[in-house]
Amino acid sequence: MDEAQRLSRLAELAVRVGANVQPGQLVVVNGMVENAALIREIARAAYRAGAQRVEAYYRDQHFVRAMIELGPEESLSDSMPWDLTMLETLVARKGAFIQVSGDAEPTLLADLDGDKVARAQPRALVAELIRVVGDHLICWAIVPAPNPGWAMQMFGTPDVDALWQAVERAIRLDDPDPIAAWRKHTARLKQIAAERTPLQRTGKPEDIAAVIAFLGSDDAGFVTGQTIYARGGP
């Protein structure tokens, strides 16, 4: 299998299973410029899945290096308002955020001041992304992008094929139909979760809604300082 086929299969898996992109959805694909080939394939896969719009959100670590070396220290942790607006828009439109990971130059910042490197990230943006992901306000996925820099870090040699093979085994991409394999796996996990719940099923939104409605009603007027578990068992 050549790299183009690998990228296409990985992109389809990221879209169909990882982020579960739906028709009419807004999709943002985030990643380093060196991983543009996979980002582009994800865009094509997302449109095939019915996405209304797919936007690239590229990052370049050389810009980060320039900021650390030459920029004012007070700007190291700044978050740009347009980036925060992007997240706000994704939440409002129930969009999907796909992050492509795989550092092509893992030692690029190694010779710089460690304290500055640690501070060189948009704190408010990172905090907001953690919040919207943790609160399940958007669909999201992290997708690996094998490249020579990452392979060198893993194996001591830029053997991208070996890295591809390791990634494929880890995410079931070596299966003839990885999408079907993942859906079978997630169904099995749901079954296991249900079997371990005394009520023999997983929770539904209305299970939690009923508790919330009770706590907000006059019937709960004498209930104070309690932790109420709605989880199907002890």
Task: State the pLDDT at residue 216.
Answer: 84
Q: What is the pLDDT of residues 1-21, one digit of tens each?
A: 899 999 999 999 999 999 999
- Ranking 106-115, 145-154, 207-216, 223-232 by mean pLDDT, the lowest is 223-232
Q: What is the pLDDT of residues 41-94, one digit of tens each?
A: 999 999 999 999 999 999 999 999 999 999 999 999 999 999 999 999 999 999
Residue 34 has pLDDT above 90, yes or no: yes
Residue 202 has pLDDT above 90, yes or no: no
Neighbours of 180 (CB within 10 A): 12
C-alpha to C-alpha distance for 185 and 37, rounded to whole angstroms? 28
Task: State the pLDDT at residue 234.
Answer: 66
Cβ(41)–Cβ(11) below 8 Å = yes
Domains and CATH numbers, the chain: 3-190 (3.40.1830.10), 201-234 (no CATH)
pTM, to two decimals: 0.85
Containing 68, the helix (H) or strand (E) segment is helix 61-70
CA Rg value for the chain: 22
Measuring CA to CA, how many Å separate 188 from each of 182, 184, 195?
Answer: 10, 6, 11
User: Over the chain, what is the mean pLDDT?
Assistant: 93
